[in-house]
Amino acid sequence: MSQFGGSTSGTNLNEPYTPPKVWKWENPDPESINQPTAGARTEKSLPVGKHSLQLYSLATPNGQKVTILLEEMLESGIASAEYDAWLINIMKKDQFTSGFVDVNPNSKIPALVDRSVEGKEVKVFESGSILLYLAEKFDAFLPKDFMKRTQAMNWLFWNVGSAPYLGNFGHFYHYAHEKQRYPIDRFTMETKRLLDVLNRHLEKNEYLAGDEYSIADIANYPWYSGVVLGKSYAGSDTFLNAKEDYPHVIRWAETISKRPAVKRGEMVNKTWGSPSEQLPERHDATDFQKKTEEASQSQ
């Protein structure tokens, strides 16, 4: 089972179900990550490192958007984009600690605190909001041209709205213990429709905002490369017939995947997969170098 596995245990999926007037959780499990209420569940403050930017995250597609952007900024010479990336293990319920909830009341990674503003802690949550915050703060990866900037915003918000469909596809196709045809068909249909939208746009455009690589590409890359290259959910590339149906998405995803900053960004806050690709916490640019050296010594 994967580390993000989901279960419908206790529910007979074959039994017909008539929703009651008022929903009640029939077998309440106080240990479950999923609860119908919000708020902190434990008292614990967040760690703080040496840089102005403190990121609290995990290397899921939503988390990778931010680490890729920060690594791209550093690669392009913006030294003040240096950051500490702390691991939030969502399976261990770190997102429900009082410190995390204080930054993101929605208890989802990624969350960012900017301590560069005198006397203030700027708390930023929602991956799209974090990308826009950083792009505006450092005036980078957001086109200056009005038409291209509008395109970048369109595709950034399209990502925020469409990503949950891919997440639901991944849940039912890959993570759920019991495979059910209805939700798999429903979310595969929508995932394929979204891929077709992207493929048609990328047939005529090098990047999402035309010829300029921007936060729109950075937001969409982890999600859409994840499904067409089969990186997020094993077998999804074949299941979605990606090579034949979405060649322009694959061309775009492969081009972006070769960027050194993207390779680094994908490693940050990662605790699964090949050990050479994992960097659970990042506090300094040299952490990647140390990691590569460790990997070559252990061979």
Ligand X SMILES: N[C@@H](CCC(=O)N[C@@H](CS)C(=O)NCC(=O)O)C(=O)O
Residue 101 in contact with ligand X, rule: CB under 6 A: no
Q: How many helices (H) and strands (E) does the chain have?
A: 11, 4
Options 73, 74, 85, 90; binder of ligand X; rule CB under 6 A? 90
Q: Which is nearer to ligand X, 41 or 251 (CB)?
A: 41
Q: How far is the CB of 281 from ligand X (least distance, A)?
A: 17
Options 54, 64, 107, 269; binder of ligand X; rule CB under 6 A? 107
Pairing assessment for the beta strands 83-87 and 53-57 based on DSSP bridges: parallel
- Residues near 10 by beta carbon (within 8 Å), at least 6 away in sequence: 26, 27
Options 53, 85, 109, 261; binder of ligand X; rule CB under 6 A? 109
Residue 171 in contact with ligand X, rule: CB under 6 A: no
Which 20-79 residues touch ligand X, going by CB under 6 A?
A: 33, 60, 62
Residue 269 in contact with ligand X, rule: CB under 6 A: no
For residue 260, count other CB atoms closer than 10 A to its CB: 11
Handedness of CA 131, 128, 218, 145 (dihedral sign): negative
Options 108, 171, 264, 270; binder of ligand X; rule CB under 6 A? 108
For residue 89, count other CB atoms closer than 10 A to its CB: 14
- Binding part of the chain for ligand X, among 104-112, 190-198, 236-244, 283-291 by CB under 6 A, reads 104-112
CA distance 299 to 297: 5
Q: How far is the CB of 192 from ligand X (least distance, A)?
A: 21
Contact 230, 237 (CB under 8 A): yes
- Binding part of the chain for ligand X, among 39-47, 75-83, 103-111, 195-203 by CB under 6 A, reads 103-111
Residue 191 in contact with ligand X, rule: CB under 6 A: no
DSSP string, 248-270: HHHHHHHHHHTSHHHHHHHHBT-
Residue 112-151 contact track with ligand X, rule CB under 6 A, x = bound? --------------xxx-----------------------
CA atoms within 13 Å, Cβ hemisphere of 78: 20
**What's CA 83's distance to the chain center, in Å?**
18
Point out which residues bind ligand X (CB under 6 A).
Answer: 33, 60, 62, 90, 95, 107-110, 126-128, 160
